[in-house]
Amino acid sequence: MCGRFTITVTMEELKAYLSDYYDIEEMKSDIIVPRYNVSPGQDVISIINDGSKNRVGLLNWGFVPSFAKDEKIGFSMINAKSETLDQKISYKSSFEHKRCIILADGFYEWKKEDNQKIPMRILMKDKSIFPIAGLWSTYVRPDGTKHHSTTIITTQANDLVSLVHDRMPVILTDESRKTWLNPRITDLRLLSTILKPYEPDQMYTYRVSSAVNSSKNENQACIIPV
């Protein structure tokens, strides 16, 4: 599971990253960074490809299928297992045609020790932004307004993350992110092959404050090592 994450870069760093890696030069003003405790139900920075170019914007974290009867279902669909995407009617269409990338520079998991759950932050050794594989959907409300939502795809934890939790978000490589965003690729078997655990030797983890347990806490204290 992935239920909280961070993107602690400055706006200048984010703009440079989008330009260098995705050829994106324009960004809407509603994007806010840094974020220290991104939680389900909130908007997350996401990238899609519209068939001709990459675009960045906000999607609401909590997947709502287009055929849903109530958008509240999104709170139970913040993650999607990579192993069953092609088997779930809620996800299969988006797996084929509506794939996205969610930007983060760390994520939180809770390590069980005795009767405690200890919050840990997991990130790259170089503290860089990384692309998480996601799916998106558009739900049309009864009043005609549209709700654009997303889910984070998870896979089996690598050797580092497994010390904390048995699942982790799918973090894409420079090469696999291009495949993932390419709307002309609809081969689900091919797409499934890139949904695998990230190399553990490129990552590290440390303990953080229990402040991250509450989504109300959104400040730099969340990422300070304990």
pLDDT of residue 126: 97
**Cβ 7 vs Cβ 33: under 8 Å:** yes
What is the longest distance spanned by two Cα atoms in the chain? 52
**Is residue 12 within a helix (H) or strand (E), and if so which, with residue range?**
helix 11-22
Q: What are phi and psi of 89, to 5 degrees?
A: -60, -30
Q: How far apart are CA 196 and CA 168, in angstroms?
A: 10
pLDDT of residue 29: 86
- Report pLDDT for 114: 87
Does the structure show a pLDDT above 90 at 28?
no
pLDDT tens-digit readout, 43-82:
999 999 999 999 999 999 999 999 999 999 999 999 999 9
Cα dihedral 183→186→187→192 (10° resolution)? 70
Residue 184 carries which DSSP code?
Answer: T
State yes or no: cis peptide before 131, omega within 30 of 0. Answer: no
**How confident is the model over 133-179, as pLDDT tens digits?**
999 999 999 999 999 999 999 999 999 999 999 999 999 999 999 99
Q: What is the fold of 4-223? A: hypothetical protein yedk fold (3.90.1680)
Q: At residue 1, does pLDDT exceed 90?
A: no
Residue 214 in tokens: 């509450």
Report percent pLDDT > 90 for the chain: 97
pLDDT in tens, 168-217: 999 999 999 999 999 999 999 999 999 999 999 999 999 999 999 999 99
Under 8 Å between Cβ of 137 and 64:
yes
pTM, full prediction? 0.98
The domains of the chain are located at: 4-223
- pLDDT, position 130: 98
Per the document, the length of the chain is: 226
What was the pLDDT predicted at 51?
93
Q: Is the backbone of residue 114 left (phi > 0), alpha (psi -120 to 50) or beta?
A: left
Instruction: Tell me the catalytic residues.
Output: 2, 109
CA distance 138 to 150: 9
How many Cα neighbours within 13 Å face the side chain of 153?
32
Mean pLDDT computed over 211-226: 96
